[in-house]
Structure 1
Amino acid sequence: MSAGTEERTRAQEAAARPESEPVRHASVIPYWQAVGAIVWKDLRAELRSRELVNSMLLFTLMTVMVFSLAMELNANARQNIVAGVLWVTVIFAGLLGLGRSLAAEKDRGSLDALLLAPIDRSALFFGKMIGNLLFVWVVGLMLLVLLTVLFNITMVKPLIALIVLLGTLGFTTIGTLLSSMTVHARAREALLPIVLMPAVLPVLMPAVRATTAVLNEMPTSEWVPWVRWLALADVLFLFAAYLLFDYVVEE
């Protein structure tokens, strides 16, 4: 009787084992190793094709040229709007990159494979987000050089580079999350800017204010609160994206 009970117990344990395996299987690959592998994959793909960065840089150059020609005769207007030109260009150039981030995986059919990989899905999000952040921040730094040359205003400053980093961090965080939400939509290229622009306002507003205050050499008390607000918005966006990404990518 005890032998039969033991056999039944073993059978129940064997039947229950496959159900618990996927939970353990999700941590087969170390978390940050998976994030690094995804970032490296995106960087290698971009270094081979140069499609994304080239299109972003071309858009950036054309936009800055248009603004420079429009403000050619008005030096005061240049000084007042240069921060707005910087962030409008960064946002719209970044949209090109964010739109291609997960859409390229979807078109190649590799998005489903990434979602089925034995990693935490938030690692997929952080890998994609860090890749997007690198692309957009590099374009933003090059934009500072362009604005310095064409607008004759010194934009290449460490503090402005830091503000650009914080601003692009919040932008790419919420942008990557919303891009994963719209990747399955038929009109994803048109839908992404519509849903992203209102969501990015908590990052865009303090970024513009902080950049303007630094360029005008205002006292520290004028721009530090905006930088703190920008950092707080980045933290909130990162936390929200970490919690929501798993639900967003579910079809």
Structure 2
Amino acid sequence: MSIEYEGQTGNILVISPHPDDETLGCGGTLLKYASQGVKLHWLLVTACDENEYSTDAIRTQETQVKQVKEAYPFKKLHWLKYPTTRLEETPITTPIEAFSSIADEVKPEIVFIPWAHDVHSDHRLVAEASASAFKSFYMSRYGIRKILAYETLSETEASFQFRETTFTPNVFEDISTTIDRKIELFRMYQTEVQPEPMPRSESGIKALARYRGATINCKYAEAFILLREISK
């Protein structure tokens, strides 16, 4: 099963807890849709803040985010800038209300969110806020037809694997034509690229995409879990 985009609203929204999650999780898929004229929106939840990071680190992140936004390109960046790695300090109602407001503005047909059982607490909280903001009886209000969870290297597979929390994909997207560009975009996050043979290295990204591709008999793929779909 691949992601079928019907073009009803013309918009796709990807929610990433941190810069680079969007590219690791569904960059190849986003690039495919962008080439078809689909309008992409990026909801970036956290940012480096002055209490934990230097001015240089903050500026570097802002530069990287700007470059990535223009490279896809995203029609709009919705950057909430909650403190990274400390999202639990923000009342959960705050991101819920923000997600709802942005969805009402964007009217996305498809929404991509992180897996609810990733090892990073920011990822789990973003998934929790998404579940509340995009309840089934609110989806039609926002024009949402599908909500899918993506996997994030070094976060999804790094969590303890139990039957009820393991990322078991049921949707796959062939990204054989966009894998190289996906890796180019990830390289823009120079501070996030890991050396070989770590997960967030070029070989790590390709290895996961190759494995997911073999599952559906193509060269490279991205995998997702369909969390909810409304058909009309």
TM exceeding 0.5? no
TM-score w.r.t. structure 1 length? 0.26
TM-score w.r.t. structure 2 length? 0.28
**Which one has a larger percent strand, Structure 1 or Structure 2?**
2
Bigger radius of gyration? 1
